[in-house]
Amino acid sequence: MSHYDVAIIGAGAAGLAAGLSLQSAGRSFIVLEARDRIGGRAFTDTTTLGLPFDCGAHWLHAASQNPLTTIADSLGFAYNDKISWADVVRLGNGGPLPEAVQAEAVDYIVDVLTRLSQVTEDVPFSSYLEPGNRWNPLMDHIIGQITSHAPENCSTLDAARYIDEGGDFPVKDGYGALVALNAAGLPVTLATPVSRIDWSGRHVRVETERGTVTASAIILAVPVNVLIADGIRFDPALPAELVQAFHDCPMGVSEKLAILLDRPIDGFGHVYGDVIFEDPAKRPFNLHINPFGRPLLISHMGGCYGAEMEKLSDDAMMALAMEAMVEAFGSGMKTRVVKTLRTHWASDPYALGGYSHAKPGKAASRLKFAEPVGDRIVLAGEHCSIPFYSTVHGAHLSGIAAAEKTSGMLPS
């Protein structure tokens, strides 16, 4: 049995940042990771499609105040590809959307999102949608992408506290690759799921299939849905009010489908938008095309729609994607698909979802995650960040804060 100052549970962005901070402080620590890789939901697949694809985290959000922007610069990672934010796309077989209709949709989207960013009340997003508005299905779709939840399940106050100023930029060679390279050399024990944490004694006992370690304190950098699902057993049980806070700020669903084409979409730069259909019964479909000039088309699917899509077979999902591609770019798209890749974060046992958002009326519950438990358990992860929840840099900063808290609990 080995003893450490701190045991870090989870090697996502939060756990890695905590480890780097403790390493700099000269503390003894161990990082235990259930997967056979680091990064958690920040993971760049470089083999399946033959080019870098971020299966999870993709954007340097709030880039001008995001510490990982500076890290990207220092490590030589390019970002900030010129993106055309086309909120509504309908081209090809369906013809272009009339300018007046396009403007109507965009105006509604901007109005709803602007009002949501300014609220001081803690009510559902859905209360800010106009009943019967023709663009509500598109708004539901966009909110699902932003929050990974349905509008009726999102707290307006939680969203208003989020800071998104400074640009949202993709990373050319992968955000997951950036997170991994930044932690290069950090000792991490992989493929070691933690099954039980006993914090009843003077030291915390952390049990794994490979044995038990003890620590004076632990940093719990595990996705909140894994904690909700009792993926780790605690003895004694965690405080009821903290467990309730987990349930108040759950992760929704955020999935991706990547389609490698024979060449980039002709006549377009890097475009992020949504295809809408003449038939109102058909849901909008996100199409993110030509990132960094690559022959790649990505669909981002969140909220209830993402949950439905995650359960579809590969063939059924691809049929929906092809319908949107043909609607946007014509029937010639049917012969241009080379390979596909899809995610399953919602059913991944070490994630169980996309990212957190507080339920209506529960924004204050996120404050509970900043409180140490029994002077020996400190939480970290995107769910612990009030201004930057749902983001990699929110997780990163929470890991640094958790390392500082645990260091303060230890003998000097």
User: What residues are paired with 251 via a beta bridge?
Assistant: 356
Examine residue 215 and state whether it is found in any structural domain, yes or no: yes
Q: What is the DSSP string of 339-401?
A: EEEE--GGG-TTT-SS-B-PPTT-GGGGGGGGS-BTTTEEE-SGGG-SSSTTSHHHHHHHHHH
Examine residue 75 and state whether it is found in any structural domain, yes or no: no
Residues 245 and 182 in one domain: yes
User: What residues are paired with 206 via a beta bridge?
Assistant: 197, 213
Amino acid 99: pLDDT: 80
Show the tokens assigned to 323: 């319908």
Give the largest CA-CA distance in the chain: 69
Cα dihedral 307, 313, 319, 321 sign: positive
Amino acid 92: pLDDT: 53
Portion of the chain with pLDDT greater than 90, in percent: 82
What's the pTM value of the predicted model, to 2 decimals?
A: 0.95
Which among 328, 363, 285 has a CA at the least distance from the CA of 124?
363
Residues 93 and 140 in one domain: yes
Residues 301 and 240 in one domain: no
d(CA 412, CA 409): 9
Show the tokens assigned to 151: 């509008």
Show the tokens assigned to 90: 């309908």
Q: What is the DSSP string of 4-73?
A: EEEEEE--BHHHHHHHHHHHHHT--EEEE-SSSSSBTT--EE-SSSSS-EESS--EETTGGG-HHHHHHH
Residues 144 and 93 in one domain: yes
Amino acid 280: pLDDT: 75
Examine residue 56 and state whether it is found in any structural domain, yes or no: no
Residues 118 and 139 in one domain: yes
Residues 312 and 399 in one domain: no
CA–CA–CA angle 270, 272, 275 (5° rounding): 125
Residues 241 and 286 in one domain: no
Examine residue 53 and state whether it is found in any structural domain, yes or no: no
Final residue before a domain boundary, out of 306, 321, 347:
347
Type of residue numbered 43: F
Which helix (H) or strand (E) segment holds residue 193: the answer is: none
Residues 295 and 373 in one domain: no
Show the tokens assigned to 227: 């904690």
Residues 257 and 343 in one domain: yes
CATH at 186 = 3.50.50.60
Which among 169, 168, 176, 209 has a CA at the least distance from the CA of 192?
209
- CB burial of residue 290 (10 Å; 0-12, 13-18, 19+): buried
Amino acid 62: pLDDT: 94
Residue 277 three-state SS: coil
Amino acid 89: pLDDT: 64
Amino acid 384: pLDDT: 98
CATH at 112 = 3.90.660.10
The domain tally of the chain equals 2
Low-confidence ranges of the chain (pLDDT < 70): 1, 86-96
How far CA 372 is from CA of 9, 236, 239, 277, 367, in Å, comes to: 15, 15, 11, 50, 11
User: What residues are paired with 211 via a beta bridge?
Assistant: 208
Show the tokens assigned to 226: 């894994």
* 391-405 pLDDT per residue, tens: 999 999 999 999 999
Amino acid 130: pLDDT: 95
Which among 402, 338, 323, 333 has a CA at the least distance from the CA of 9?
402
Residues 227 and 289 in one domain: no
How far CA 216 is from CA of 4, 289, 381, 399, in Å, comes to: 7, 49, 20, 17
Dihedral of the alpha carbons of 51, 57, 58, 59, in degrees to the nearest 10? -160
Domain that holds residue 329: 80-168+252-347
Residues 269 and 323 in one domain: yes
Which among 378, 348, 357, 352 has a CA at the least distance from the CA of 242?
378
Give the relative orientation of helices 67-75 and 175-182 as an angle to the nearest 10 degrees. Answer: 80
User: What residues are paired with 59 via a beta bridge?
Assistant: 170
Q: Which residues fall within 8 angstroms of residue 392, CB to CB, at 6 or more apart? A: 13, 42, 57, 61, 68, 175, 179, 382
Residues 14 and 118 in one domain: no
